[in-house]
Amino acid sequence: MTAMKANERQARLLKRTSIDFRSTEQIVDAPFILSRAKGLYYWDIHGKRYFDAIGGIFVASLGHGHPRVLDAMRQQMDRLSFAPPMHGIADVTLDFIERLGEVTPGNLNFVKPFSGGSESIEAAMKFTRQYFKQTGHPEKYKFVSRYQGYHGGTFGAMAASGTGRRKTPFEPQMSGFLKVFSPTYYRDRFATWEECNRFCARMFEDVIVSEDPRTVAGVIVEPIGNTGGTVTPTDEYFHILREICDTYDVLLIFDEIITGYARTGNMFAAQTFGVTPDILCGGKGLSSGAIPLGAMIAREDLGDAFYGSEAAEVNFAHGHTFAGNPLASAVGIAVIDEIVENDLARRAGELGDYLVDGLRRLEKLGVVREIRGKGLLRGVELMRDGKACPQLGVALKRTAMEHGLVMRIDPLWFAVAPALISTEADIDELCGLVEQSIVAALQVIDA
């Protein structure tokens, strides 16, 4: 079951590139080189099958190679595959803007499509700053986000991220970005989870007030934070954030790049938590992985501030060559239609409960501290003998791959987010593979 080392050519080529946040030496030692994927499975170049328990990386929402998605792209390819972004827009991109607006909460109807999550976050922050500049509040420019949050790899998105040592190589960071702690980080200091959430939500207010609210433009949070270990606040937490943002005229920005498109039991986590942000950023599952796609979706009335004459230079001063790509737009529509027509949001809620039951069965191994998340986005915090045990997660990274299981492992926790098209039998298979991988990891650390 052990992974095959890279051959001489593969090792040479792997050294000429880099795998995200991974040591190339480790990759050369146990390379995962894929040749195809279908539904919930990948096959590597040796023909070994892997269960994709994380949808790539929260991307393949409808599974890999979904026929409706691929058909939509093929048909669009024959008509128009590129539209000039400084001259106009594809008809299908207008359709995409309309379709996305139909499934977002509130009046989140101003849609600027992009090619991924970081671009959408960058755009949201630029949109926010420009909005305040041209509506009489040029001094509003700061953003408050969370430690352990991740909003992307570009400089602005990185500045909003709270990923500690991952950011150190690129310091100094951009100024004007402030951080607070997430409820999970502080939970042991409070008698109840609710109390902890209230305190952590109020910390945003403390920072905004201390900074001078006249200088604060936006609050950026992932409704369920991945890098902090599937951080899942209470509904009340988001209601408090909404109230604080309204009080101090600060825009509330939800990073729904992981949580969007039915993952948490509703089309967006905003609906799951019952709070509508001013701007919502999407990416990942919006294309089910068929093509790069993201979107910044703002309140329509905020978008109105960017409507004006050419002479007055009123426009959103931002764009990317491949943003609003017609193929990506066709794919986005197909993904949304498939989710809506098959009620996959409701399905994610139901199947999510089934997944939690399956993950609870791991408790007998004595390694589960907490199971978090909503719908088909679940994280398990690991422990051993009642304490954090990073060695277990490190071993699990290897044993999971050996068992043909792809999931996100921190190493203090792991996360799973199977495709929305999964069946109960798929969830059983996933949970079985997780259990076998953990048992093998325990054997490794006890050896």
Ligand X SMILES: Cc1ncc(COP(=O)(O)O)c(C=O)c1O
Residues in the site for ligand X, rule: CB under 6 A? 116-118, 121, 150-153, 222, 226, 255, 257-258, 283
Spatial contact of 58 and 225, defined as CB atoms under 8 Å apart: no
Residue whose CB is less far from ligand X, 248 or 413: 413
**Least Cβ distance, residue 4 to ligand X (angstroms):** 28
**Least Cβ distance, residue 225 to ligand X (angstroms):** 8
**Least Cβ distance, residue 176 to ligand X (angstroms):** 19
**Least Cβ distance, residue 1 to ligand X (angstroms):** 29
**Least Cβ distance, residue 269 to ligand X (angstroms):** 11
Q: Which residue is nearest to ligand X (CB)?
A: 117
Residue whose CB is less far from ligand X, 250 or 377: 377
Q: Please give the angle made by the CA atoms of 34, 38 and 39, to the nearest 5 degrees.
A: 130
One-letter identity of residue 294? G
Three-state SS annotation for the chain: CCCCCCCHHHHHHHHCCCCCCCCHHHHHHCCCCEEEEEECEEEECCCCEEEECCHHHHCCCCCECCHHHHHHHHHHHHHCCCCCCCCCCCHHHHHHHHHHHHHCCCCEEEEEEECCHHHHHHHHHHHHHHHHHHCCCCCCCEEEEECCCCCCCCHHHHHHCCCHHHCHHHCCCCCCEEEECCHHHHHHHCCCHHHHHHHHHHHHHHHHHHHCHHHEEEEEECCCECCCCCECCCHHHHHHHHHHHHHCCCEEEEECCCCCCCCCCCCCHHHHHCCCCCEEEECHHHHCCCCCCEEEEEEHHHHHCCCCCCCCCCCCCCCCCCCCCHHHHHHHHHHHHHHHHCCHHHHHHHHHHHHHHHHHHHHHHCCEEEEEEECCEEEEEECECCECCHHHHHHHHHHHHHCCEECEECCCEEEECCCCCCCHHHHHHHHHHHHHHHHHHHHHHHC
Residue whose CB is less far from ligand X, 226 or 399: 226
Q: Which residue has the tokens 């051959």?
A: 7
Residue whose CB is less far from ligand X, 118 or 264: 118
